[in-house]
Structure 1
């Protein structure tokens, strides 16, 4: 009987605790949080609709509040750089080299970026960038 009374007191005090409300995040805030949370690993790249994943194989991106790093980014994604959103919608990034990158999708597990790259380049016998409209698909 005593244990039942204690249980009722515990349940009563837990339910009477004031709940703190977590403010709803805007879509723009969620976009920034999802973009900067952890490493993005390349899953697929198309250039003008053609699969070019092999050219950018092993590409990884990390975004912080105002900078990014890349691994195996070749010419198109420098090892380091800065970025900023172009407006409050948080859908277009301007890199420090002036390149505009459109965020088509960003969720906790998926990132799709679009950009136009104007020149192809070859280094040491390997293609390191292809000119055209790129769609980069990343996962975690």
Structure 2
């Protein structure tokens, strides 16, 4: 009779020991969640400069990976064809491009909004009429 109780006790003990593991590696951290939301291709639906709609961005697309981006149909003075990016320390809603421009952004599963200040001092020459606050609205592709 003692053997069935001992077996039952061992089964229950093993179950609790394996259930109470501190291994939470399956839970992504907030930075990983943001990266997963950003990754992929995005198509611009609206671009403004100082709250004024801008022409010439109709076919602009950007693709993000964990640390880089690639653009198509871009205006390279404002968005380089490719580059690196990283989160600004302490914020999961700001990124810094490899050229030093800091971008505020909000991302959901299907929409991305990016806003940044562009100054011709970031460029290799004077770019008349391009300075100001850019706001990009994107749709996930």
Per the normalisation by structure 2, the TM-score is 0.69
- Check whether the contact 1:47–1:135 (CA below 8 A) recurs between aligned residues: yes
User: Larger Cα Rg: Structure 1 or Structure 2?
Assistant: 2
TM-score for the superposition, normalised by structure 1? 0.70
SS at match of 1:65: coil
Residue-by-residue CA offset, 1:89-109 (whole Å, 9 max, x unaligned) = 321111111111111x20110
> Which residue pairs with 2:34 in the alignment?
31
- Separation of aligned partners in 2, 1:48 and 1:23: 43
Partner of 1:130: 130
RMSD of Structure 2 on Structure 1 (CA): 2.4
Structure 2 CA distance for aligned equivalents of residues 67 and 51 of structure 1: 27
Is the partner of 1:90 in helix, strand or coil?
A: coil
TM-fit CA distance, 1:33? 0.8
In structure 2, the residue matched to 1:3 is none
Structure 1: gaps (5+ residues): 1-20, 123-128
The partner residue of 1:99 within 89, 101, 111 is: 101
SS class of match (1:89): coil
Match of 1:114 in 2: 115
Give how far 1:25 is off: 4.3
